[in-house]
Structure 1
Amino acid sequence: MSLKVIVVLLAGFLAWAYLAFCPPPPRLCGSIGGPAIEGPRIKLRDGRHLAYKEHGVPIERANYKIIYVHGFGSSKHEAAIARSELVEKMGIHLVSFDRPGYGESDPDPKRTIKSTALDIEELGDKLGLGPKFYVIGSSMGGQLVWGCLKYISHRLAGAALIVPVVNYWWPSFPSSLSTEAYYQQFPQDQWALRVAHHAPTMVYWWNTQKWFPPSSVISGKANFTAPDLRILSKYGSSMGIRDYAKQQGAYESLHRDLMVSFGKWEFDPMSLDNPFVGGEGSVHLWHGVEDGLVPVALQRYIAKKLPWVQYHELSNAGHLFVHDDTSAKDAVLKSLLTGDK
């Protein structure tokens, strides 16, 4: 084979590799050819915009103010907790928002657990929620509540984590426990998480290549158990990854979520101190025994390590219970806001 042919083949391979590993630029909202801006947004400290949606009673007559953090592949439109009748009865003003790169919120190429916590703090300031507010996060959003407890605990009146995603590499987990839980996941998810943790620059390629199956959640084949399948059959496609959520591109929303959530954290949640030592607030963690996405054994261990976290375990409940269980929604709100169990 001549040198000229080798050079051409090498150049072709490098061009293919660049396109395969380099994600396309996001389709910014409001840009030429990008999605339209249809809802309200605030401008953040670094010039980015954060889209939000308000629920419940008007802020001027609210007794409680909550910021809700959505999960993986979701958006500001899917704040299931806001559909509780208690929102009106108790005088709750709830704000949901598109996390960076999702929906109509600008991407944040430097996104971390800390930066999102600071986004939440700034959202509360810009919307006049007062010196303290509550935070509730579901699934991947629940994981981000740990960041709020670490970085903006002085702004919190209380916090609730609903089926929070767990990082298998948090150092406080005994290796035997985290390894056992890790291997309960589908093989394709084991590989997707390995890539996110050990080789984040390959996350885009891994979840777009055709040789091996990508993340089951991204591909729409997640390990949902019977309780979740009943909810999915009831609500249909509205429970899936919506086009709105990833309209700016899958990389800055879904793929970056994997990198941040399963990458190397700056802190271990199980090393946190109680932010409410005086009893002025409380932290609650809710989980279903039949959750096929986040093994319940890991949440039990977290609750054991952090006795100041009030742990609530629901039998016959999966990862999506809060989307359908009215009594669970009410219990989450009552325990967080009034201390009722």
Structure 2
Amino acid sequence: MIKEITVVLCLGLAVWAYQAAHPPPPKLCGAPGGPPVTAPRIKLRDGRHLSYKENGFPREKAKAKIILVHGFACTKHDIMSLTDLVPHVVEELGLYFVSFDRPGYGESDPDPKRTPKSIALDIEELADHLELGSKFYVMGFSMGGQVVWGCLKYIPHRLAGATLIAPVVNYWWPGFPANLSTEAYYRQIPQEQWMLSVAHHAPWLTYWWNTQKLFPASAVIARKPEIFSRQDLELASMAAEKSEDRPPATPQGEFESLHRDYNVGFGKWEFDPMELENPFPNNEGSIHLWQGDEDAVVPVSLQRYIAQGIPWINYHELPGAGHLSLVIPQNFEQIVKAPFPGKE
């Protein structure tokens, strides 16, 4: 009898562990019971759909075409709203913008096989579908800025220029000196240190870690005030008011959006950004990296190391700025103008 009870308990524990570590299926947009499709979408090479939004100068008349990549817990609407801060620049430079929901966010289908390479290829497909031409610009913020590294690796031949705005760094990129990355890692609050380690060392536990009640989960998902600078806290409250009427970022569920971001962003990469080759050896384009020196989300020490090790990066450090400094109109104006000589 005791043997039978033990077997039943073990089976029950195994079932519980499996269910705890495996998220429910996402609620696909347009599927029965799922969120509605309200924006244009393209069908990608593997059958997934990518939702996008256009703004700025008419596409066929634009002098430059820029693909915007949104950050963590955001959508195409959030990053596209920044273009409304600089209408005079859009008009002066003839800029066309298109933003898209990254896989699993907003109205874009999840990609269970998402990697830095796959998202770069998604961007290339979007550009081809919209007939943006052989060359286009990419501009990404935070986790979207990290996506730009993948573009520089996998589709450099398609880029007219690239801008990384406070791009998330992976503490396990091999190009970092161990002492520097370790010091930066331990500057994060303990709650976030645990989340980062789970995403890197045990990604299969990311869903469980963010849904269990024994330990505090992701501080970034919970938007803990401790992870932001004083400027960020002020800007975040302002941004929240402006975004009240925008569609939610995770209507399909948090695993294929937020949790997948952690697993991809802090997992084991196939390449080291610090070993990339200059995509513009003849100065036919430029790469810009913007970072606030008081950013509490992305360590400025690691960003400086990247900039020092990659001589073809144009590094811009904003004094007194935090992670959200791009929402300040004069900052975003500088960022948008930087790839265009003589317009800064």
TM-score tier, shorter chain, comes to: over 0.9
Once the two structures are superposed, the pairs formed by residues 241-280 of structure 1 within 5 Å of their partners are 244-280=248-284
Would the aligned equivalents of 1:55 and 1:94 in 2 still touch at CA under 8 Å?
A: yes
TM-score (norm 1): 0.96
Aligned equivalents of 2:337, 2:306: Cα separation in 1: 22
Alignment-derived partner of residue 72 in structure 1:
72
Unaligned stretches of 5+ residues in structure 1: none
Distance 1:339 1:5, change over 3 A: farther
Match for residue 311 of structure 1? 315
Q: Do structure 1's residue 193 and structure 2's residue 209 form an aligned pair?
A: no
Alignment coverage as a number of residue pairs: 339
Q: Secondary structure at the match of 1:337?
A: coil
Paired residue for 2:23? 23
Aligned partner of 1:44 in structure 2 is 44
Matching residue's letter, 2:162: A
Q: Which runs of 4+ in 1 moved over 6 A?
A: none
1:140 aligns with 2:143: yes
Question: 1:1-341 alignment to 2 at 5 Å?
Answer: 2-79=2-79, 80-83=81-84, 84-85=86-87, 86-221=89-224, 223-236=227-240, 244-323=248-327, 325-338=328-341, 340-341=343-344
Identity, in percent, stands at 61
C-alpha change, 1:339 and 1:250, in structure 2 (3 Å) is: farther
- Paired with 1:143 and 1:56, the residues of 2 have a C-alpha distance of 24
**Cα contact 1:197–1:262 (8 A) shared by 2:** yes
Question: How far did residue 236 of structure 1 move?
Answer: 3.0
Task: Normalising by structure 2, report the TM-score.
Answer: 0.95
Q: How many angstroms does 1:307 deviate by?
A: 1.0
Judged with a 3 Å threshold, the aligned counterparts in structure 2 of structure 1 residues 38 and 239 are, in CA distance, closer, same or farther, namely closer
Residue 145 of structure 1 aligns to a residue whose secondary structure is helix
Amino acid at match of 1:49: H
SS at match of 2:211: coil
Cα RMSD of the aligned pairs, angstroms, is 1.5
Question: Would you say the 8 A contact 1:64–1:337 is kept in 2?
Answer: no
Q: CA deviation at 1:210?
A: 0.5
Task: Letter of the 1:245 partner, please give it.
Answer: A
The offset of 1:11, in angstroms, is 2.3
Q: Which amino acid aligns with 1:192?
A: M
User: In 1, distance between residues paired with 2:160 and 2:57?
Assistant: 19
Q: Distance in 1 between matches of 2:308 and 2:236?
A: 32
Q: Is the 8 A contact 1:49 1:105 kept in 2?
A: yes
Q: Provide closer, same or farther for how the CA distance between residues 215 and 287 of structure 1 changes in structure 2, counting only shifts above 3 A.
A: same
Distance in 2 of aligned mates of 1:29 and 1:239:
21
Alpha-carbon spacing, 1:238–1:251, altered in 2? closer, same or farther (3 Å): farther
Distance 1:133 1:235 in 2: 28
Distance 1:204 1:238, change over 3 A: farther
Which has the larger displacement, 81-90 or 168-177? 81-90
1:148, distance to aligned residue in structure 2 (A): 0.4
Distance in 2, matches of 1:303 and 1:8, equals 57
Alpha-carbon distance in 2 for matches of 1:27, 1:126: 26
Matched residues in 2 for 1:201 and 1:237: separation?
35
Per-residue deviation, residues 63-96 of structure 1 (Å, max 9, x unmatched): 1100000011111001144122212332111000
SS in 1 for 2:153: helix
Name the aligned partner's letter for residue 4 of structure 1: E
Secondary structure at the aligned position of 1:286 is classed as: strand
